[in-house]
Amino acid sequence: MKVLLIDDHTLFRLGLKNLLERSGIDVIAAASTGQEGLDTVHDAKPDVILLDMRMPDMDGLEVLKKLRDAGITVPISMLTTSTEEHDLIESLRSGAQGYLLKDMDPEDLVAALHNIMKGETVVAPQLAGTLARALQGKSALPEKKTPLSALTPREREIIEHLAFGQSNKVIARELGITDGTVKLHVKAILRKLEVSSRVEAAVIAVEQGLGRRRSPTS
């Protein structure tokens, strides 16, 4: 197994290199920055990449995404001290096959690398509970922001009607509210979306997938 190690701590890199090589794993290259890792990966042709999360030039998540965007398909595992749920979930979402901790026992780390090479996704045992909560929908991660995130439920309802080109009068009739109330909501929508017209708001609504579930009414 050939490993590329990307970590900014010199002593850790050297220590891990010695540890892995004693276990029959070849550390073919060790990069001290994210950019150096990106520059090295094509020539090194590793079987697995071990990637630190916290580095000064760019963090591990950014490096991970750049590697995947560059077409690197080899297994990548984070190797970090971070037990933050956000780091774990975002790493897996971004294409990591492993999330390992630097305080793991050496034999557990070596075993994890072999399992990753077999195609398994491996998460440090200490984080199993964190991952389970996230998979059950109890993650503390914020929802992904969209242009409509700042809108209230009523404003989202109204902007969907705007996507059909409906007038304030029609919207008011369908929602059982007054024309004046609709007008106030539309003004708030335009302000939050930082646009100046109903048409611009409607375009954003359509781009976000609203207005597709039913046919417009007259």
Domains of the chain: 2-135 (3.40.50.2300), 153-207 (1.10.10.10)
Residue 145 has pLDDT above 70, yes or no: no
- Residue 121's pLDDT is 87
Indicate the average pLDDT of the chain. Answer: 86
pLDDT by residue (tens digit) across 107-127? 999 999 999 998 888 998 888
Two structure tokens written together for 89: 């979930």
- Residue 113's pLDDT is 94
Residue 212 has pLDDT above 70, yes or no: no
Two structure tokens written together for 123: 């998460």
Residue 154 has pLDDT above 80, yes or no: yes
- Residue 214's pLDDT is 46
Residue 68 has pLDDT above 70, yes or no: yes
Residues 6+ positions from 79 with CB-CB distance below 8 Å: 7, 16, 50, 51, 52, 100, 101, 102, 109
- Residue 215's pLDDT is 42
